[in-house]
Structure 1
Amino acid sequence: MKIISHSSLYTLICLSVILLGLNSCKEKEKAVIDVFNEADKIISSIKVLEFPDNTFNILDFGAIADGETNNSQAIKKAIGACNESGGGKVVIPPGKFLTGAIYLKSNVNLHLEAGAEVLFSTSTEDYLPVVHTSYEGQELMNYSPLIYAYKEKNIAVTGKGTFNGQASKTNWWPWCGAERYGYVKGDRNQRDEHNLPRLWEMAESNIPVSERVFGPGHQLRPLFMQPFECENVLIEGVTFTNAPFWVIHPIKCNYVRVDGVTVNSHGPNNDGCDPEYSKNVHIVNCVFNTGDDCIAIKSGRNNDGRRVNISSENIVIENCDMIDGHGGVVMGSEISAGVRNVFVRNCKMNSPELDRAIRIKTNTLRGGFVENVYVKDIEVGQVKEAVLKINLFYAIYGPQEGDFMPSVKNIHLDNINVKNGGQYGVLIKGRPQSLVNNVTLTNVHIQNVETPLSVENSEPIIFKNTSINGKQY
């Protein structure tokens, strides 16, 4: 596998930006083509995974498809036997199988046949012992993700079945502290002092992750699927629904493909796919219908992100449908180690409950950078707030001001057609000390928007053949 070096990709991107400034339309077109050739190289670097021709059916290990029997041990035994034999396929056949946490192992393809539904237990005890995981961009020891892999290689989850987290207003979701998700005033929630504030303090104080122990007695929800520090990961064809928290979260991973997956989950913080500290990621042919961002590229929160210091880069998103969500393709807000080289093409975004199409969010506590984002051939039916939103004043959980000035540069939109643009065509809030730099809109046509442009603290946007509400820019 060939990894694109920072220097060669940076040189190509700089060349592309120069070409975009030339007068020749042909040269400008060539620049865009060249950049997306780099996207194709990233895709080619992610190898097609192969597994030995061994099959392990969980029924042969004692699994019972009655939706009530806990099959954790049967699934664990099947995965263990597959791994110990050198790898292969672990099959979950049609039926309803209740389980606790599933731990993936190297060289194992966990395959859900059509009609298979994995029902995850709502008992917190089934996600113990605590494992090395993360919560909103900070590492800790917490309840295991529902599907978890730690430092494994060559792993896959495939098939046409469904993973049902069974999260609801009666379990997991109320911990977020919002009444619309079942929280009852006076109950414990993630914002209590012993939960997130304690984690924030530990991260800022550089307490070792092994000593940041949460789990029982705390209210921090588990992720749905988390490959942690894994290499060569495939997630293909399956459906995820009713997630406790973020759905697909590759963290510190290299060479990841998410192909043909459906995420249909509207709980709190139900982001669809959040690559974090990860490189060489291909998200393709997916459907995201979510309670939060459809795709959010991340790289750690505040001091913890700067401690890890691994940028997320070389990420290609294509042929996806974004329905409900806070944003279609988002960078941030956990972004302290930075994001670069993001390519988005041939996607559809459309819902009255989709807030933005492309979104970048950070602040001076997060800091970080976003650079070299290329978005091409996007059809937007409807968004609520903005087609493009860049916000360097993003705030949640109170004031978010610190000493780490973020930077955003080289954001390029090409051939974007929007039928109903919502409140803003382009909404940019940069900072006087850090102007948003080099935003270009080429062949972008936005209709039915209240305010075409709201731009603060940005270098002039470069427009070419772009119209908003019929007016040429």
Structure 2
Amino acid sequence: MKTFFKLILILSLSAHNIHSIGENIDITDFGAKSDDTRPCTEIIQNAIDKVSKRGGGKVIIPPGKFITGSIILKNGVTLEIQKGATLLGSKNLEDYLSIQPDFVALRTGQATKQLIFAEGQNNIGITGEGSIDGQGAAFERAETGDEPGITRPHLIQLIDCKNVRIKNVDMRNSGGWMQHYLACENLEIKGINVYNHCNYNNDGIDIDGCTDVVVSGCFVDSDDDGICLKSTSPRSCKNVLVTNCVVKSHCNALKLGTETTGGFENIIFSNCTVSPSVDPDPIYGTQKGQSAISVEMVDGGLLDQVNINNITILETGCPIFVRLGNRSRKYSPDAKEPGIGTLRNVSISNVTATTSSKTTSNITGFPGNYAENINLSNIFITNLSDGSEKEAALEVRENDKGYPTAGMFGDILPASGFFVRHVKNITFNNVQLFIKGDNVRPAFILNDVKDAQILYPGIFSWREEGAKIVKDSDCENISVIN
């Protein structure tokens, strides 16, 4: 992992030193005026086209408010939004292009709309200390058949691009996902501030089937998922580092999934803080968030070598959710239904969490299919919820086809610390559980678990019942070393 960490930093630093020379065009020199009522889409696009044709450089958005519909980034162009500048997305859906990407990987197969788009472009970027405001509340969610990016524009969608730099910009109020990077290579997202709470599907950052990615120093507050890795096509999400970020979400803060067709390999989440959103009114999800860490494999594919470390979780829902399922969603209408995926080699370490949720941490496969090689070490969880004898005896239903979310088995789980089922080769090393309140639910419940070690557990409970480790008759080779 250390070698991978060094490699991805070198790739990032070398790949993005790309805009030091070239032509710079201020859009006001092309006739744009600071006016939040008149679109200047054509002016901005003409500037982008000219800079790209002349070998690359910057298109500058100076201080002021400038409204636009869809703009398309071209080779060599960085859109620089200066401090004091706001690029406003038009509230009129007709100002957005309907674009059918060449890269056929969108589940709906339909043309999409977005404020800033690029496909197959190299050496592009969006930088500066200004803001992009999609004004996404202007777009109503359709009753049926609605998808983000179709009736509600994405703020940013970049597809099959290389050498991409997104830096320091403030992003707000998308009609759907804030930013979607699909099948990109050498992608750096650094120091951005995201606030997305105006519509449905308001994710913060979506990295989808990308290779060689660094996300660092970002602040994300989203109604839907915070920083989310996806694999909606056969392209795997590979060599990704997410580090030194603060994430607040009404749904899942740090997530791999839901879409998993191409899989995930060599992924690191490190040195991040998760806490509830500052927004008190969820459109979707819950005020404190559904989960802090979610690792999911439900649409086929391979998930291998995922390392999550040094995470601080301040009062959210389920601290840790790991799920191998069999939802089997196709990535496009004509694709074959995916087979059962593989989830293995996941390491989660140095996590401190406080939660008052009864949807406690859960790690699960489904009958005959096991999540494998899971290692949890130096985990400290304080559970402030209560738990009755009736709740401790709850039967947890199977749900192999269900949408993967921490509450997919119900809002209350019978374990106060970890519910583990259909898992092979799992280790808990120095997992400390502080179980407070009137809670008699066992700390650990293991069901159909093979080859497990629980090393040096610390289970601190007001009630003796809450300090138990419960193993059922389907478990094999379970050792507990105090």
Q: Give the TM bin, normalised by the shorter chain.
A: 0.7 to 0.9
Distance 1:281 1:423 in 2: 35
CA shift, 1:222, in A, is: 2.9
Q: CA RMSD in A?
A: 2.5
Match of 1:472 in 2: 458
Q: 1:360 aligns with which of 295, 300, 303?
A: 295
* Secondary structure, aligned partner of 2:4: helix
Distance 1:411 1:345 in 2: 14
Alignment gaps of 5+ in structure 2: 277-286, 331-336, 386-415, 436-456, 460-482
- Residue 49 (str. 1) matches residue 17 (str. 2): yes
More helix by percentage: 1
Q: Is the 8 A contact 1:362 1:394 kept in 2?
A: no
Letter in 2 for 1:130: I
- Residue 384 (str. 1) matches residue 370 (str. 2): no
* Secondary structure, aligned partner of 1:80: helix
CA shift, 1:396, in A, is: 9.8
- Residue 314 (str. 1) matches residue 239 (str. 2): yes
CA shift, 1:285, in A, is: 0.4
Q: Which TM-score applies when normalising by structure 2?
A: 0.75
Letter in 2 for 1:468: L
Letter in 1 for 2:213: V
Deviates more, 1:48-57 or 1:100-109: 48-57
Distance 2:426 2:106 in 1: 31
Letter in 2 for 1:39: F
Distance 1:420 1:238 in 2: 32
Q: Is the 8 A contact 1:386 1:421 kept in 2?
A: no
* Secondary structure, aligned partner of 1:469: strand
CA shift, 1:378, in A, is: 1.0
Distance 1:237 1:277 in 2: 23
Match of 1:444 in 2: 379
| CA spacing shift, 1:341–1:137, aligned 2, 3 Å | farther
Distance 1:289 1:134 in 2: 30
CA shift, 1:141, in A, is: 4.3
* Secondary structure, aligned partner of 1:246: coil
Match of 2:145 in 1: 190
1:122-201 correspondence to structure 2 within 5 Å: 122-132=91-101, 137-138=106-107, 140-168=109-137, 171-175=138-142, 177=143, 189-190=144-145
* Secondary structure, aligned partner of 1:75: helix
Alignment gaps of 5+ in structure 1: 1-34, 178-188, 197-214
Distance 2:49 2:169 in 1: 22
Q: Is the 8 A contact 1:133 1:141 kept in 2?
A: no
Match of 2:363 in 1: 428
CA shift, 1:68, in A, is: 0.9
CA shift, 1:360, in A, is: 2.4
Letter in 2 for 1:237: N
* Secondary structure, aligned partner of 1:359: strand
Letter in 1 for 2:18: E
| CA spacing shift, 1:152–1:135, aligned 2, 3 Å | closer
Distance 1:316 1:160 in 2: 23
* Secondary structure, aligned partner of 2:42: helix
CA shift digits 1:272-307 (9 cap, x unpaired): 11111210011100011111111111111xxxx3xx
- Residue 299 (str. 1) matches residue 231 (str. 2): yes
Match of 1:200 in 2: none
- Residue 410 (str. 1) matches residue 352 (str. 2): no
* Secondary structure, aligned partner of 1:96: strand
Match of 1:91 in 2: 60
Distance 1:106 1:130 in 2: 18
| CA spacing shift, 1:291–1:311, aligned 2, 3 Å | same
Letter in 2 for 1:42: I
1:336-355 correspondence to structure 2 within 5 Å: 336-351=261-276, 353-355=288-290
Letter in 2 for 1:408: L
Match of 1:262 in 2: 193
Letter in 1 for 2:252: G
Q: Is the 8 A contact 1:409 1:437 kept in 2?
A: yes
Letter in 2 for 1:377: N
Match of 1:325 in 2: 250
Distance 1:413 1:287 in 2: 22
1:446-461 correspondence to structure 2 within 5 Å: 446-448=381-383, 450=385, 451-461=416-426
* Secondary structure, aligned partner of 1:131: coil
Aligned residues: 388
CA shift digits 1:116-174 (9 cap, x unpaired): 11111122221124331889942634233210011110001001111111111xx3242
Q: Is the 8 A contact 1:328 1:349 kept in 2?
A: yes
Q: 2:88 aligns with which of 112, 119, 122?
A: 119
| CA spacing shift, 1:173–1:361, aligned 2, 3 Å | farther
CA shift, 1:369, in A, is: 2.6
Distance 1:135 1:288 in 2: 29
CA shift, 1:49, in A, is: 2.5
Q: Is the 8 A contact 2:177 2:202 kept in 1?
A: yes
Match of 1:238 in 2: 169
Q: Which TM-score applies when normalising by structure 1?
A: 0.77
Distance 1:342 1:82 in 2: 36
Distance 1:433 1:56 in 2: 60
Q: Is the 8 A contact 1:87 1:106 kept in 2?
A: yes
Letter in 2 for 1:119: L
Q: 1:70 aligns with which of 29, 35, 39?
A: 39
Letter in 2 for 1:77: N
Q: Is the 8 A contact 1:354 1:383 kept in 2?
A: yes
CA shift digits 1:219-254 (9 cap, x unpaired): 543322111110000000111111111111111110
Letter in 1 for 2:430: N
Distance 1:137 1:349 in 2: 30
Distance 1:362 1:429 in 2: 11
CA shift digits 1:78-116 (9 cap, x unpaired): 111211221111110111101001111111111011111
CA shift, 1:419, in A, is: 2.5
Identity %: 27
Letter in 2 for 1:413: I
Match of 1:369 in 2: 302
Letter in 1 for 2:420: V
Match of 1:39 in 2: 5
CA shift, 1:341, in A, is: 1.0
Distance 1:421 1:439 in 2: 25
Q: Is the 8 A contact 1:264 1:290 kept in 2?
A: yes
Distance 1:356 1:242 in 2: 22
